[in-house]
Amino acid sequence: MKHVLITGGCGFIGSNFVRHTLKNFPDYKIVNLDKLTYAGNPGNLTDIEKNSNYRFVKGDIVDAALVGRIFAEENIDTVVHFAAESHVDRSITGPAEFVQTNIVGTFNLLEAAREAWLNDKAGESKNACRFLHVSTDEVYGSLGETGAFQETTPYDPRSPYSASKASSDHLVSAYFHTYGLPTLITNCSNNYGPYQFPEKLIPLVINNALQGKALPVYGDGKNVRDWLYVIDHCQAILTVLQKGRIGETYNIGGNSEKQNIEIVNLICDILDEKVGLLPGGEKRRSLITYVKDRAGHDRRYAIDATKIRTELGWLPKVNFKDGMRKTVEWYLDHKPWIASVTDGSYREYYEKMYNNRR
């Protein structure tokens, strides 16, 4: 039986991961430590909150005493670290929180693991422990028209968000090299799927297009991202946890590069087909509104996922078109969920980010 600490388990990827792990490993004991920021929603896990192998702790990874207590109380042997401030736009308007959570918070978790695994436990049990740090492809910077990020690509972060994630990656790597902490790092491309907070591109466009509102697209809409269905990401993390070589980094990607505008067009077309045209008989593509580009907006990201494929045998299972269909259907089936997260503070934020750019 593994005793797993999942941080940020009430967020988008974390909640999918908690559910996916309990489904595939019902004997794992999971503790979910989440501060419940604007992005954390305990409602993402109502279906599993009564599972006797699941415990939720509302708390901050920046609180070192709390993190240490959880390690001791729960005999934690595995960490899957998702908790982060994760939205690039928010990191531009308020970077301080990113430094606290993403850097100081990761440091606290590493210290707690070092204390629990390297000082208290015998060598044998230490070998079974794992600290998996979930990171992003954004640490590598921006690409030109060709090429893809490999694990050896030099770091070149461009936003306070990616700089804070890069910094946390370096700390994790340092704890492996300096102390021998059994760490793993994954750097993944853009995720999409159920339970994503509707400030990010895909749920934002679905939500607005459903309501007949403008669909804000940054710049010329031609920024390229590689997209991965969130459950494929969860499965990749489990694969790295089980088979990855400690101290290593694994890039995870969907081999699915898309321009932002292609995604917006696809969502409009799926919704036109599923719920009919707009009341005036117009297609939803007519709602597209180009807005001033984000400062320092990276042009293109692409992931070379050869290492995880050849070493660990992981491949994404869901192709982009099927994944997008599933995602739009999920949002159509979960309108109360969208309503519950698009409260006043979200609308205020939305005004600041998009309406002032017109």
37 binds ligand NAD (CB under 6 A): yes
Residue type, 223: N
Site string for ligand NAD, 78-117 (x = CB under 6 A): ----xxxxx--------------x---x------------
Q: How many chain residues bind ligand NAD (CB under 6 A)?
A: 31
56 binds ligand NAD (CB under 6 A): no
- Of 2-10, 295-303, 319-327, 332-340, which segment contacts ligand NAD by CB under 6 A? 2-10
Beta carbon of residue 80, minimum distance to ligand NAD (angstroms, whole number): 10
261 binds ligand NAD (CB under 6 A): no
Concatenated DSSP letters for 287-341? Answer: GEEEEPPPTT---B--B--HHHHHHH-----S-HHHHHHHHHHHHHHTHHHHHHH
204 binds ligand NAD (CB under 6 A): no
In this structure, what are the phi and psi dihedrals at residue 144, rounded to the nearest 5 degrees?
-80, -155
Instruction: State whether residue 56 is helix, strand or coil.
Output: strand
Q: Is 114 exposed, middle or buried (0-12, 13-18, 19+ CB in 10 A)?
A: middle
Could you give the CA distance from residue 335 to residue 215 in angstroms, rounded to a whole number?
18
Q: What is the DSSP letter of 99?
A: I
Among 190, 207, 255, 256, indicate the residue that binds ligand NAD (CB under 6 A). 190
Among residues 34, 60, 77, 138, which one is catalytic? 138
Among residues 54, 161, 175, 331, which one is catalytic? 161
Q: Active-site residue 161, yes or no?
A: yes
Beta carbon of residue 229, minimum distance to ligand NAD (angstroms, whole number): 11
**Largest distance between two CA atoms of the chain:** 70
By CB under 6 A, what part of segment 217-246 binds ligand NAD?
none
- Of 10-18, 72-80, 262-270, 334-342, which segment contacts ligand NAD by CB under 6 A? 10-18
- Cβ atoms of 217 and 292 within 8 Å: the answer is no
170 binds ligand NAD (CB under 6 A): no
Cα–Cα separations (whole angstroms), residue 165 to 160, 209, 229: 9, 32, 21
Residue type, 154: P
Of the pair 59, 180, the CB lying nearest ligand NAD is at 59
What's the CA angle centered on 275, arms 350 and 229, to 5 degrees?
Answer: 60
270 binds ligand NAD (CB under 6 A): no
Could you give the CA distance from residue 4 to residue 120 in angstroms, rounded to a whole number?
18
- Of 22-30, 188-196, 216-224, 253-261, which segment contacts ligand NAD by CB under 6 A? 188-196
13 binds ligand NAD (CB under 6 A): yes
Among 21, 136, 223, 255, indicate the residue that binds ligand NAD (CB under 6 A). 136
Could you give the CA distance from residue 186 to residue 130 in angstroms, rounded to a whole number?
13
Q: Is 249 exposed, middle or buried (0-12, 13-18, 19+ CB in 10 A)?
A: buried
Nearest to 130 by CA among 239, 52, 53: 239
Among 188, 205, 261, 264, indicate the residue that binds ligand NAD (CB under 6 A). 188
- Catalytically active residues are 137-138, 161
Q: For binding to ligand NAD (CB under 6 A), which residues are involved?
A: 7-8, 10-14, 33-37, 39-40, 60-62, 82-86, 101, 105, 134, 136, 165, 188, 190-191, 197
